[in-house]
Amino acid sequence: DTAVSQTPKYLVTQMGNDKSIKCEQNLGHDTMYWYKQDSKKFLKIMFSYNNKELIINETVPNRFSPKSPDKAHLNLHINSLELGDSAVYFCASSHGVGAEAFFGQGTRLTVV
């Protein structure tokens, strides 16, 4: 069983569209994350969320919004997609302070 799974793996869409990326973890972790990896391979935190608190990186446009229907899911919704949103988006989860982060395989988003 895949520990952290995200769908779709590839997403090609036009500018201005709204899209969602889904993430599920079956590890029982209490914290989930979304990261954006740009063309230079820099992995930048976008959000972290547990059942108590949402922490938003201040540089993330408000067109991006995380939605968590339950503890095992953290989906990423993006409104009005822009060319600069093209990147690989990774979902991850962890349990406790200083613990290991488990990553999904990534979603390569291409905005045309």
Partner 1 sequence: TQLLEQSPQFLSIQEGENLTVYCNSSSVFSSLQWYRQEPGEGPVLLVTVVTGGEVKKLKRLTFQFGDARKDSSLHITAAQPGDTGLYLCARTPTNTGNQFYFGTGTSLTVIP
β-pairing, 43-50 vs 87-94, is: unpaired
Q: Quick check: 106 binds partner 1 (CB under 8 A)?
A: yes
Contact between 42 and partner 1 per CB under 8 A = yes
Residue selected from 31, 78, 81, 87 as contacting partner 1 according to rule CB under 8 A? 31
Of 51 and 80, the one with the shorter C-beta distance to partner 1 is: 51
Q: Does 10 bind partner 1 (CB under 8 A)?
A: no
Among 19, 72, 101, 110, binds partner 1 (CB under 8 A): 101
State the DSSP string of 14-73: -TT--EEEEEEE-S--SEEEEEEE-TT--EEEEEEEESS-EEE-TTS-TTEEEE-SSTTB
